[in-house]
Structure 1
Amino acid sequence: MCTKERQGRGGEPGVVGSSRRRLDAALDGLAVTFRGMTAHPDETNCTCHWGSAEDLARLKVADVELDPDLLRRTWQATDWTDKASVLRRILPQFASTLVSGIVTSLYDMERAGLAFALGNWQEWPAEQAAAVEEFLRAWWAYTLTEADPPVPAHDLLVLIAEASGTLSPWLDAWEALSGPVADGHLAAAADRWEYDLLGDQLPWSAWEDEEGMRAELTAWLVRHAPARLRAHGAPEDLLHRIRLLGVTGPDRWEDPHWPGHRY
């Protein structure tokens, strides 16, 4: 997953345009691949907590756009009997909504990633799984090359890591990019993550292997971030905080540059 791509100097119109065209093509691919999909005919949900019988009936009709509230309730629900068929039903509209940046909170990034994970999309027929994978890859590539994407890179990483169950390909893709845009996203992410990581916590709630993801993200930042942050002009205190991620035990919080975080 995730072929390495070179950004060049970063943020040039041609690069962004190319990545946007790839993302648009991936969204079109989802629309074509999942055209005609419906929830299972016997699918049910609680009318008291999820929605009405009329709402449920709309999920069993193909290619009818759902109103935003129904779409939200559908992807946030985790108690579907046939989670894969529900995800396939809403996927083209769901993906377009996500890309637009309407979903903004970290909690909802986690839940959106979980919706993909619970659908077990990697086990779908090859054409369907490939369409989902290309969407995630294209969205990530666009975000890393766009100076002001609708969804910040540090938030999108939460969604795609949870959706795919792994950090490695997404971090590899970020590492392969060079230039001020990708480095700017790295600086913003490092600033967002350092507090949790210095407390030996993953900056989000992972569905699976939280400790493994925390260790991988920490090691990647310690190895890869300092030179790029320094070249980007990141504040000295941020550089020290990232350095301290590579220090353990009392040496970390007794360091003269310990930021004074309390947990």
Structure 2
Amino acid sequence: MSAQPSLARLRLHAALDRLAVTFAGLTARSDEHNCVCHWGDAEELALLKTADTELDPDLLWRTWDAPDWTDHASVLRRILPQFARTLVGGPVAPWQAEAGRSFARGRWQRWPAEQAGAVREFLHAWWADTLTDPSPAVPVPDVLVVITEASAAVGPWLGVWKTLTGPPADAHLAALVEQWEWELIGGQLPWSGWDNEEEIRTELTAWLVRNAPARLRAHGAPPKLLNRIRLLGLPCADRWEDPGWDGRPY
């Protein structure tokens, strides 16, 4: 007998269904256009002006990735249900930051309340499902990049993570630290941010310094990883002089 879906997974399914209902029947503007040479042809453009028609994966990618729509918000609303399903199915690397910025370009927080609420719930439901899944389709660091860029904030997502302790959330935390510690110790955000890059890096680093040590020790993380978190808590200039620094050049 197959295991029953978790509450987080049921919430995600409901959020995807809500997107499908909320954005059903919407299209790009009738006068929307893009470069034939670099984006696509007239037949493909016509699909964006036809409601509720699935796009092939390549056309979907070119559509959300294009930065030069006349009305990006309308284009995003047209593709959003399919776009969200594609993100959840993974993988999103190496385009996770660009995927998040597509949401940001659409300024979804300014949409009518019903639409903005549906997007917000999707992002939160996806994050909660990812943190509670031992083997998510999209790794936690990639999802965090998407939702941070989509919302121009990292604090709300770290706040959710703080409330979810124990496995698998702590295992995901160890994996994220192992993947990102090199850039963070060097004073860099682990991805190319679009807005508030320094603010996001500072907040992420401070959160890890406060919250990661106890959780990583409980998870059984190796001393080397705990030392990297300790180094993160030092001013940048002091990290290179610390006895625990391994001498690797940046």
TM-score by length of 1: 0.92
> For the structure 1 residues 189 and 17, does the alpha-carbon distance in structure 2 shift closer, same or farther, using more than 3 Å as the test?
same
> For the structure 1 residues 35 and 213, does the alpha-carbon distance in structure 2 shift closer, same or farther, using more than 3 Å as the test?
same
RMSD: 1.3
CA distance in 2: counterparts of 1:16 and 1:236, whole angstroms: 36
Contact 2:123–2:147, Cα closer than 8 Å, also in 1: yes
Name stretches of at least 5 consecutive residues in structure 2 with no aligned partner.
none
One of 220, 232, 235 as aligned partner of 2:207: 220
Runs of 4+ in 1 over 6 A off after TM superposition: none
Shift of 1:15: 9.4
Contact 1:241–1:259, Cα closer than 8 Å, also in 2: no
CA distance in 1: counterparts of 2:225 and 2:89, whole angstroms: 30
Aligned to 1:236: 223
Question: Residue deviations 1:156-189, cap 9 Å, x none?
Answer: 0000000011011100000011112000000000
Q: How many residue pairs get matched?
A: 249
Shift of 1:250: 4.0
Aligned to 2:25: 36
Contact 1:15–1:145, Cα closer than 8 Å, also in 2: no
Question: Residue deviations 1:101-151, cap 9 Å, x none?
Answer: 13232xx00000000000000000000000000000000000000000001
SS at match of 2:168: helix
- Within 5 A, what are the aligned runs for 1:114-193? 114-193=101-180
Question: Residue deviations 1:2-61, cap 9 Å, x none?
Answer: xxxxxxxxxxx9896111110000000000000001001000000000000111010000
SS at match of 1:147: coil
One of 23, 47, 70 as aligned partner of 2:59: 70
Contact 2:186–2:236, Cα closer than 8 Å, also in 1: no
Question: Residue deviations 1:54-111, cap 9 Å, x none?
Answer: 1101000000000111001001101001000000000000000000013232xx0000
Contact 2:213–2:226, Cα closer than 8 Å, also in 1: yes
Q: What amino acid maps onto 1:201 in structure 2?
A: Q
TM-score by length of 2: 0.97
- Within 5 A, what are the aligned runs for 1:37-116? 37-105=26-94, 108-116=95-103
